[in-house]
Amino acid sequence: MAGVFISYEEGMNTFLKRKNKNKNKNGKIQGFHAYNIAKGLSPFFTKGAIIMKFLSYLTAILVIIGGLNWLFVALDFNLVEKLFGSVPALVDTVYWLIGLSALYQIYDRFFASS
């Protein structure tokens, strides 16, 4: 996660430099910064931080899907096999993605520094 976030001073300087470029004719901030400010997000996130946040959400969804599949397996219905059973390589890929997502979530929740 090193290099994902930038310092407050660097972010403020960058934001102030871009602020005039991001204003419309009425002087209101528009675009990416306006969207983040309206959502209550810091305008100082880098693209790397946004990608990592997306990766975190994606892996969480895959872990939930994997958990639900295990519930269905306990009920003698394997959802992944049912959907992708005709292509064994695809079934293996789905299981790999779910397993790697679980490992990422463990790392992100317990070992990654905030």
**pLDDT, tens digit (0-9, with 9 covering 90-100), for 36-75:** 666 666 656 667 777 888 899 999 999 999 999 999 999 9
62 and 39 together in one domain: no
Closest alpha carbon to 55 in 98, 20, 101: 101
Mean pLDDT to the nearest integer, 19-40 = 60
Quote the domain boundaries for residue 10: 1-45
Total number of domains constituting the chain: 2
81 and 105 together in one domain: yes
pLDDT at 101: 96
Percent of all residues in the chain with a pLDDT value above 70, rounded to a whole number:
58
Would the pLDDT of 24 be above 80?
Answer: no
Q: d(Cα 108, Cα 112) in Å, to the nearest integer?
A: 5
5 and 55 together in one domain: no
Q: d(Cα 114, Cα 10) in Å, to the nearest integer?
A: 19
Which of the four pLDDT bands, split at 50, 70 and 90, describes residue 1?
A: very low
